[in-house]
A and B are shown apart, each in its own frame.
Chain A
Amino acid sequence: MSVQKSHRGAATLLMAPFFALFLGTLVVPIGYAAYLSLFTERSSGLGFGGTETLFTGLGNYLHALGDPAFRAGFGVIAGYVLGYIPVMVGGALVLALLLDSTLARAKRFFQLTLYLPHAVPGIIAAIIWLYLYTPGLSPVVAAMREGGLTWNFLSSDHALSSVINISLWEWVGYNVVIFYAALQAIPREVVEAASVDGAGELRTALSIKLPMIQAAVVMTVLFTVIGALQLFTEPMILNGANPAVNTTWTPNMYAYDAAFRRGDYGVAAAASILLALVAALLSFVVTRIGNRKGAA
């Protein structure tokens, strides 16, 4: 009995620091933002006497949802996800399967070099690529010109693909390492049995290995979608260099713009909460789909 009690004391003490932080920097800010999102500030009638705070209920949410700029941000994210996920997940899968095949050499070297960009801070990755997109500074643009290719990375038509490329560079190697680890965890007997049965490398990869790492793929898609919703750093760097990337290009940029350029905290809070809700909803849907497929 006394042992149980001392356990409880120790457990509480060991958990207290984390949960204090969890409450203070996660739960309370979200709660406070939810509270703020219900109010709006109006300058009082005659233009002097400062501002007054009014309760608007869901007014800020309706304002954000009714704002074409905010909705356009979700359109940008949708386009980004549609372009980015197939290329990134597909590319990472292909590279991981190649690494896992008996044909690949220098597996450690390839893993290391593919992963390397992930260690680079996102803001620096974006700056490097912006310079590599800039004519006059970039060897890439110069080489393409010499080869007769005139692709303008910074034209408004190519805004999305230029951002996707930066994300791809940062994340593809990371996911190769994840998929490769999942592939390595497949029991060797299974793969050997397939090859004894006469299945070639390609056949084994597609019909044995791929289905067995499905859980890892679903997890990656989930985290990539959540990451996509938060898209901010890369477009923030391209903003100013690419005319299409305005200050409210993504929902996160919209929230930042609302708070710091327009000083409208109520709308900024509402936009943040909406973003978190969409992320939560998407994670729920993706995990449901993943579970169902896993069970089938």
Chain B
Amino acid sequence: MQNALLEVRGCKVNLRRMGKGEPLLLLHGAQGLNGEDPGLDALAKHFDVIAPDHPGFGRSEDSELVDDARDLALFYLDLLDALNLDRVHVVGLCIGGWVALEMAVTSSARFNSLVLVNSAGIRLKGVPRADMFVCSEDDLLKLLFARPSAADWLKRWRATPELEDIYDRNRAAAAKLSWSPRLCNPKLDRWLHRIDVPTHIVWGEENRLIPPAYAQALKDLIVGSTVATVPGCAHLLHIEAPNLFAEQVSRFIQRVTS
């Protein structure tokens, strides 16, 4: 794995790059990446995985240009320019999925395909969501995971003082992007018909932060998209079931590119 700082619009972005194959931009979720992400390693067997920390998250600088998910989407279109990447596969987790949707409605010409995993971005009225910010840490872990992998995951964040700081930093950065309206752009659903690239939606069956009804709603809004619901997984399914996550992504991409 290569770790490098890439300057985009005056902001130094921490970029992980690993594997060989077609370029795949992985946009992380509210919890960020902590350096031990077996789901990414599994993806790197098939793709040239490009996984930045969003501005304000992880080891990336904060950017004055990025106040919300829409800004971040435009920022990533700039990042693709900076990397001289014409077209990429995009995988978006949670908030990263929301950013991918905002990018795709702006310019789907940069996409080869799109995979949304437990994606934020739209609001389904009347479908209650749990709140990741108000709950206690114990309850948060229960929301993020269906399996007992939560304690290990949290332990990795507590491994060093730097990672502890990054954990807090990610929470603040996630709040900045998604506090209100919580985890969505209420007008985004109006424009999802513009997404004209192959799209696959992967959801944890036990996700209470963004319940599986959202997977169906996204499928209905994005023409030709497909859905896979994963039993025994919640919001961080790429951590709970890394191989299954990578398989969902790589099989879908193989299918649509062959």
Chain B associates with chain A: no
Name A residues whose Cβ lies closer than 8 Å to a Cβ of B. Answer: none
